[in-house]
Structure 1
């Protein structure tokens, strides 16, 4: 191998943990009481509307507003009437989310292993360029990464083969000499393999760690 490409959210960056903490801190200000059921609803709403952004149905800010329209009624909280008011309300969640950003404990060790192997390191994420780069800066991993490719920068999303191929091109490596690692089997394994990369699935609930996947 000459390069490794990592997914970001829930692979290197603990998105679920960060968002969970943020939503639990945000709900009381909306008149609600945090619960596991409400958190499950939040993540289902996030997944549904994020997919609408990836498909081009909504803008990135539009999917945020759609999440408010879906979630606030569950709390009995009115949806602000104007888009600027909706954006201001969502910004309160984002502030809490940013305050909770953290990397998984094995993220830096994994990048350091890849560096010691002499591999180029890329990030391929179905996210927005500004936010994903900000995450890498805040969690301290940006200096270890050579290339960050996002849905916005590429114009395509995983599992489109072009997303993996363009990331390999940005790293100046052949797909056959590149390893992809991520938590989503369809996007990070099946999609990458279809584009000619080697891929390994990160299953944290089953006990997988990033350094171990690099060593296998």
Structure 2
């Protein structure tokens, strides 16, 4: 006579079979996943319209572009010419002051003390006035150069913005702020060429500013 299996033994066998089946299924899934080529993952991450972050950043050396620009050379030339003219006028005034000082010293013994003090005060006033004119003109040259450079920099920023839009840059960094970068991302030369083209007919007119403010 055959012995009949107990119900508890049947349940154990059934659970073992189910566990083995689940293990086989998981193994099958792992094998299938490992057989998928890596290019499939690359295709998922490299969707149309996406680019590596490094290609979204441009580099520019604003200071270098401005210093090398033709416009800055024109501005400096105009200021130098105006300064040369001013120095010529100042030199004539300095000669007259030296002659006046010499004459005053020669007349010191032959004129009264009161007259000498009056003439000395007049001479000192002329010296102070000339010094103020020189300082005022120097300040004027400095302001003229700064204002011209600021206008030029604004023009350059518009050019940089246009280049960034054309190349699809999300941002443009100053080269001094980038430790290492691919030189192909540097737009300085292109920006300089465009700036020179846009300012090739630049005309500079400087106003005389040799009178003290106020």
Same fold (TM over 0.5): no
Q: Flag the structure with more relative contact order, 1 or 2, with Cα contacts below 8 A and sequence separation at least 6.
A: 2
| Structure with greater proportional strand content | 1
